[in-house]
Amino acid sequence: MVATPIVKWAGGKGRLLSQYEPYLPPRFKRYFEPFAGGAAVFFWLRNQRGLKFSATLNDSNEELINCYQVVQSQPEPLLARLRQMADRHSHAYYYQIRAERPELPLERAARLIYLNKTCYNGLYRVNASGGFNVPMGRYKDPSIVQEDKIVAAHQALQGVQLWNKGFDDAALAARKGDFVYFDPPYQPLNATSNFTSYTKDQFGMEQQCHLAAVFKQLVKRGCHVLLSNSDSELVRDLYRDYQQVEIRAPRFINSKAAGRSSIAELLILANPAESG
């Protein structure tokens, strides 16, 4: 079974993998993904290269990392709980689960997956106090229990370190020969495309500059580093010393129809040979 993301995530890279492929290093020691989200690139690498590389997935979203920990360690109880939720799914049940703040890791993971599969647009979005505030979606028959996907992800996650830290702490654990793929919240192109609320902490200009400094440090160490971001002036400028490749990305996040066409994004890359 091919492993793919188990949650739909804003900025998910599933549709872009074939465009990224030529820029992934053919060989590396360990893999780090400091802004994991749906972790599409990680799952893709696992499918292509098997279990032989060790990996660290990190995200500042605690619920998401908890969910991966549960998929990694207790897939069967998770599937059992999802089956119960699927049986009870209704308008009232959705809002009941949305209002709950469970403490048990298993229950938190099931809640995240259930809400992700049934909410409007399938997007995890939180308000200023960290609450999940997306209304219910209008799916006729949402697939809440994706057994094959959970089992494939469980296998792909074996031996993977799952961290809930800031991207910098996670990335700076990388050493010479390791591969770090950064997929940060994108620098907005204009005032209306500022979707950055994956977590309650916003990712602004200061963070983008800090990320560029971390990128540079990793290149100096001799890591393979790849980063995706919007094709904005700030990004072009911050990474002017590195190779920049334009990628055409379909956009489905904006609610305005005009925002749904394809837009350009940038891949920034640096490999050890270039670090001098």
Ligand X SMILES: C[S@@+](CC[C@H](N)C(=O)[O-])C[C@H]1O[C@@H](n2cnc3c(N)ncnc32)[C@H](O)[C@@H]1O
Pairing outcome for strands 179-182 and 224-230 = parallel
C-alpha to C-alpha distance for 7 and 57, rounded to whole angstroms: 15
**Residue 39 or 270 having the CB closest to ligand X:** 39
* Contact in structure between 271 and 224 (CB atoms under 8 Å): yes
- Of 63, 178, 183, 265, the one binding ligand X by CB under 6 A: 183
Binding to ligand X, residues 10-49 (CB under 6 A): 11-13, 34-35, 37-40
Of 4, 28, 53, 59, which one interacts with ligand X (CB under 6 A)? 59
Based on CB atoms, which residue is closest to ligand X, 61 or 72? 61
Distance, CA of 118 to CA of 91 (rounded, Å):
10
Give the separation between CA 87 and CA 128, rounded to whole angstroms. Answer: 32
The CA-to-CA distance between both ends of the chain, in Å, stands at: 41
Instruction: Tell me the closest approach of the beta carbon of residue 36 to ligand X, in angstroms.
Output: 6
Angle in degrees, 0-180, between the axes of helices 75-88 and 91-99, rounded to the nearest 10? 130
Select from 37, 8, 41 the least CA-distant residue to 199: 37
Residue with tokens 């800031």: 166
Q: Which stretch binds ligand X (CB under 6 A): 59-67, 76-84, 103-111, 131-139?
A: 59-67
Q: Is residue 215 part of the contact set for ligand X (CB under 6 A)?
A: no
User: According to the binding rule CB under 6 A, does residue 187 interact with ligand X?
Assistant: no
Contact between 198 and ligand X per CB under 6 A: yes
Q: At closest approach, how far in Å is the CB of 165 from ligand X?
A: 7
Name the residues that contact ligand X, by CB under 6 A.
9, 11-13, 34-35, 37-40, 59-61, 166-167, 183-185, 198-199, 203
